[in-house]
């Protein structure tokens, strides 16, 4: 039986089976009902929160006392769509905890307000890393590039939030999205036309700042539960080798998942801080480099605060299953990689280079003491 | 002080109604082949249409909204597959290999469906997009968010498996 004949069997079989589908099911009506229910939920929650907003406005007088800026409560995204908006057409998806949001692909990465004692600081609220992971040099480019900010100190230079009066931050020059920032839900209007809108979603906050109302709306409408990587982990996981390394066939999907200690009070788990799909070739290169690295010799007694999981899914040799593979990269102390067979390898630049790009250099701290070959792969030492 | 509550998306954008009315039957057939069950197909299409309706200002600007929504259907199904433990892809109406029906065509259709039921969801979607929707590698890669080589691998492996099954059936090994 030649290939064309097999293809024809496939076509005829699928065509025949497709006729079994019931195509009069009222899915459009159900979809409309689902959309209406979401909107009702948003309106109800938004209205109910209005009283609390008054208190927030009073309590944040520094931020909102000007006539030109005001704070209101926007709708809470309480039931976002479960289907994902594909990150194409110039978009990419960013993750924080359980939330995902689509942003323009050309945006970089920077800081967002994080709780620090009794105040919030953003370190620093501009694009400090470009979309590919390269450092952004020079003020003009840093201040014109949109960015995704997380509540992580990317530098030791910080700006107090709410912004100090007459500070440069009072006139935003580039659009931004903040994930998990220490910002109250509501609107902040700036004198130069920028509007900052913060909503609650998936037990965190999503903030969008822009002078483009359509862009703000499109970004906020994309807020949804994340589907890539576990959203939180109770402890540093043990990597897996899968049922059989020998049965690994084609690598069909790879993802890099960064975690850090959940900054919220009372939590001892690790929160997803960054997630991205990884090119299969890069994933294979990272696994190979990690396996080739020398065994870790430095035994640090420390409490991990962050780690990165490289996870890959392979087709089984038999087409009825998938095989998982993972490695856990710890960047604390001198850095190490725990492989699926239980061995612990030293962290090397080669094992890091394949995945420490895009947002990683603005989200994950590097090994303490600094390692020259990896200095551009991570946030790096500060102070 | 502006105290208005923003209600973005009070109604679907113009164009959604026109588009969706013509596309639902095809989407349901596609979802049925991808998911393997009527219920899962309806759930996936409903989820995709709800998202498309809310995001029509973005989706409707595309040259081919169908591809966008088909991808949503696939993603919804893969997400559901993962949530339910990866092995609960329904296998509806799969007859055993030695079916009582003597008609060769029916036996071959059964073999196709039985094979589809065994495929991981992404590979199954690639097969459906190739042999039911007649899309090329680039189009399938775009919808699934994978490389062309991954698409080719998915399809080639499925063809190999089906040939093996058909040949085994013909020689009476099944």
Question: Tens digit of pLDDT for each residue in B99-147?
Answer: 444 466 777 888 888 888 888 888 889 999 999 999 999 888 888 877 8
CA neighbor of A296 nearest in space, from A258, A345, A330: A345
Check if the beta carbon of residue B72 is closer than 8 Å to that of residue B25: no
pTM, two decimal places: 0.56
Q: Chains A, B: CB contacts under 8 A, how many? A: 220
Q: What pLDDT shows up at residue A368?
A: 59
In chain B, residues with a C-beta closer than 8 Å to the C-beta of A252 are: 120, 122-123, 146, 150, 153-154
Structure tokens at B93: 């109406």
> CA A257, CA A302: separation in Å to the nearest integer?
21
Residue B158 C-alpha, separation from nearest chain A C-alpha, in angstroms: 8
Structure tokens at B20: 């969706």
Residue A29 has pLDDT above 60, yes or no: yes
Structure tokens at A22: 């019931």
Most B CBs within 10 A among A19, A31, A33, hence the mutation to make, goes to A31
More confident residue, A40 or A109: A109
Q: pLDDT tens, A71-88?
A: 333 223 323 333 333 444
Q: What pLDDT shows up at residue A196?
A: 95
> CA A10, CA B123: separation in Å to the nearest integer?
14
A184 Cβ contact list (under 8 Å, min separation 6): A56, A60, A71, A198
> Sheet containing A114-116: which strands, arranged edge to edge?
A114-116, A119-122, A159-161
Which residues share a beta bridge with A91?
Answer: A104
Structure tokens at A279: 């090119």
Question: pLDDT band at residue A68, thresholds of 50, 70 and 90?
Answer: very low
Q: B51 and A83: CB-CB below 8 Å?
A: yes
Query: Could you give the ipTM of this predicted complex?
Result: 0.80
Q: What pLDDT shows up at residue A358?
A: 93
8-state DSSP, B1: -
Residue A345 has pLDDT above 60, yes or no: yes
- Residue B19: exposure state from Cβ atoms within 10 A (0-12, 13-18, ≥19): middle
Structure tokens at A168: 């440069």
Residue A6 has pLDDT above 70, yes or no: yes
Most B CBs within 10 A among A83, A243, A252, hence the mutation to make, goes to A83
In chain A, residues with a C-beta closer than 8 Å to the C-beta of B118 are: 319-320
Residue B64 C-alpha, separation from nearest chain A C-alpha, in angstroms: 12
> CA B137, CA B126: separation in Å to the nearest integer?
9
Q: B157 and A319: CB-CB below 8 Å?
A: yes
Question: pLDDT band at residue A39, thresholds of 50, 70 and 90?
Answer: low
Structure tokens at A113: 């307000």
Q: Which residue of B has its CA nearest to A12?
A: B109
Q: pLDDT tens, B22-74?
A: 889 999 999 999 998 888 899 889 888 888 887 777 677 767 788 878 888 88
Peptide bond into A365 cis (omega under 30): no
Question: pLDDT band at residue A243, thresholds of 50, 70 and 90?
Answer: low
Q: What pLDDT shows up at residue A66?
A: 33
- On average, the pLDDT of chain A sits at 79
Residue A166 has pLDDT above 70, yes or no: yes
Q: What pLDDT shows up at residue A38?
A: 61
Residue B97 has pLDDT above 50, yes or no: no
Strand-strand pairing, A147-150 and A176-179: parallel
Q: B12 and A227: CB-CB below 8 Å?
A: no
Check if the beta carbon of residue A273 is closer than 8 Å to that of residue A96: yes
Q: Which residue of B has its CA nearest to A27?
A: B46
CA neighbor of A69 nearest in space, from A172, A204, A180, A181: A172
Residue A319 has pLDDT above 60, yes or no: no
Structure tokens at A158: 């910080």
Q: Which residue of A has its CA nearest to B72?
A: A83
CA neighbor of A147 nearest in space, from A190, A104, A100, A99: A104
Most B CBs within 10 A among A8, A12, A15, A17, hence the mutation to make, goes to A17
Residue B148 has pLDDT above 80, yes or no: yes
In chain B, residues with a C-beta closer than 8 Å to the C-beta of A56 are: none
Q: A23 and B45: CB-CB below 8 Å?
A: no
Residue B100 C-alpha, separation from nearest chain A C-alpha, in angstroms: 17
B161 Cβ contact list (under 8 Å, min separation 6): A319, B115, B118
Q: What pLDDT shows up at residue A305?
A: 87
More confident residue, B65 or A139: B65
Question: pLDDT band at residue A185, thresholds of 50, 70 and 90?
Answer: very high
Q: A81 and B50: CB-CB below 8 Å?
A: yes
**Which whole-number Å values give the CA distances from A92 to A148, A232, A332, B158, in the listed order?**
11, 21, 29, 31
Q: What pLDDT shows up at residue B165?
A: 82
Residue A266 has pLDDT above 90, yes or no: no
Residue B24 C-alpha, separation from nearest chain A C-alpha, in angstroms: 7
In chain B, residues with a C-beta closer than 8 Å to the C-beta of A38 are: 50, 54
More confident residue, B64 or B172: B64
Residue A41 has pLDDT above 60, yes or no: no
User: Which among B1, B9, B47 has CB closest to A82?
Assistant: B47
B31 Cβ contact list (under 8 Å, min separation 6): A21, B40, B41, B42, B44, B45, B73, B77
Secondary structure (3-state) at B40: helix
Question: pLDDT band at residue A270, thresholds of 50, 70 and 90?
Answer: very high
Most A CBs within 10 A among B43, B54, B81, B127, hence the mutation to make, goes to B54
Q: What pLDDT shows up at residue A113?
A: 95
Residue B135 C-alpha, separation from nearest chain A C-alpha, in angstroms: 12
B27 Cβ contact list (under 8 Å, min separation 6): B45, B48, B49, B69, B70, B73
Q: B57 and A25: CB-CB below 8 Å?
A: no
Among the listed ranges A274-283, B3-12, B119-128, which one has the minimum average pLDDT value?
A: B3-12
> CA A64, CA A116: separation in Å to the nearest integer?
21
Residue A136 C-alpha, separation from nearest chain B C-alpha, in angstroms: 29
A261-266 long-range Cβ contacts below 8 angstroms, 24+ apart? A261/A305, A261/A306, A262/A232, A263/A114, A263/A115, A263/A151, A263/A180
Q: What pLDDT shows up at residue A359?
A: 94
Strands (E), chain A: 91-96, 99-104, 108-111, 114-116, 119-122, 127-129, 147-150, 159-161, 176-179, 186-189, 195-201, 204-210, 224-225, 232-233, 248-261, 270-277, 306-316, 322-330, 336-338, 344-346
**Which whole-number Å values give the CA distances from A88 to A216, B54, B125, B129, B144, in the listed order?**
18, 17, 19, 19, 11
Residue A320 has pLDDT above 70, yes or no: no
In chain A, residues with a C-beta closer than 8 Å to the C-beta of B54 are: 35, 38, 81, 221
Question: pLDDT band at residue A340, thresholds of 50, 70 and 90?
Answer: confident
Residue A273 has pLDDT above 50, yes or no: yes
CB neighbours (10 Å) of residue A108?
Answer: 27
Measured distance between the N- and C-terminal CA atoms of chain B, rounded to whole angstroms: 76
């Amino acid at each position: 039986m030649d290939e064309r004949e097999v293809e024809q069997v496939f076509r005829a079989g699928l065509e025949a089976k497709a006729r079994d589908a019931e195509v009069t099911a009222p899915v459009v009506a159900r979809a409309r009902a689902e959309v209406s229910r979401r909107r009702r939920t948003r309106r109800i929650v938004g209205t109910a929160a209005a009283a609390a907003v008054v208190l927030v406005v009073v309590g944040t007088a520094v931020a909102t006392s000007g006539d030109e800026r005001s704070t209101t409560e926007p709708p809470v995204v309480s039931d976002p769509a479960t289907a994902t908006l594909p990150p194409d057409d110039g978009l990419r998806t960013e993750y924080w905890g359980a939330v995902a949001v689509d942003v323009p692909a050309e945006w970089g990465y920077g800081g967002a307000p994080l709780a620090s004692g009794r105040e919030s600081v953003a370190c620093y609220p501009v694009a400090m890393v470009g979309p590919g992971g390269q450092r952004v040099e020079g003020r003009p480019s840093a201040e014109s590039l949109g960015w995704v900010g997380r509540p992580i100190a990317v530098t030791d230079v910080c700006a107090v939030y709410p912004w100090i009066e007459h500070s440069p931050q009072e006139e935003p020059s580039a659009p931004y999205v903040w994930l998990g920032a220490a910002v109250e839900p509501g609107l902040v209007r700036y004198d130069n036309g920028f509007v900052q809108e913060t909503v609650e979603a998936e037990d965190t906050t999503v903030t969008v700042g822009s002078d483009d109302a359509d862009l703000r709306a499109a970004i906020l409408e994309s807020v949804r539960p994340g589907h890539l990587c576990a959203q939180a982990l109770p402890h540093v996981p043990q990597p897996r080798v899968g049922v059989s390394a020998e049965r690994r066939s084609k690598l069909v999907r790879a993802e890099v998942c960064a975690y850090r200690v959940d900054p919220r009070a009372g939590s001892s788990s690790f929160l997803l801080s960054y997630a991205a799909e990884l090119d299969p070739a890069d994933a294979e290169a990272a696994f190979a480099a990690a396996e080739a690295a020398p065994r870790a010799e430095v035994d640090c007694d420390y409490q991990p605060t962050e780690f990165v999981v490289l996870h890959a899914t392979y087709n089984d040799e038999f087409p009825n299953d998938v095989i998982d593979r993972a490695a856990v990269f710890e960047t604390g102390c001198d850095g190490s990689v725990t492989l699926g067979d239980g061995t612990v390898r030293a962290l090397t630049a080669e094992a890091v280079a394949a995945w420490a790009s895009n947002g990683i250099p603005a989200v994950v701290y590097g090994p303490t003491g600094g390692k020259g070959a990896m200095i551009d792969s991570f946030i790096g030492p500060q102070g | 002080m502006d105290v208005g509550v923003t209600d973005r998306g009070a109604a679907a954008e113009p164009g959604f109604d026109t588009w969706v009315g013509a596309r639902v039957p095809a989407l349901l057939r596609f979802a049925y082949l991808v998911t393997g069950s009527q219920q899962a197909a309806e759930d996936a299409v409903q989820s995709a249409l709800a998202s498309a309706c809310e995001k029509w200002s973005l989706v409707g600007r595309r040259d081919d909204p169908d591809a966008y929504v088909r991808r949503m259907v696939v993603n919804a199904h893969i997400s559901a597959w993962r949530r339910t433990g990866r092995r609960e892809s329904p296998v509806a109406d799969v007859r055993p290999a030695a079916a009582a029906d003597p008609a060769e065509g029916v036996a071959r259709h059964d073999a196709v469906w039985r094979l589809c039921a065994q495929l991981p969801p992404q590979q199954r979607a690639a097969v459906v997009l190739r042999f039911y929707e007649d899309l090329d590698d680039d189009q399938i890669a775009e919808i699934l968010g994978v490389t062309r080589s991954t698409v080719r691998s998915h399809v080639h492996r499925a063809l190999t498996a089906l040939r093996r099954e058909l040949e085994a059936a013909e020689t009476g090994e099944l």
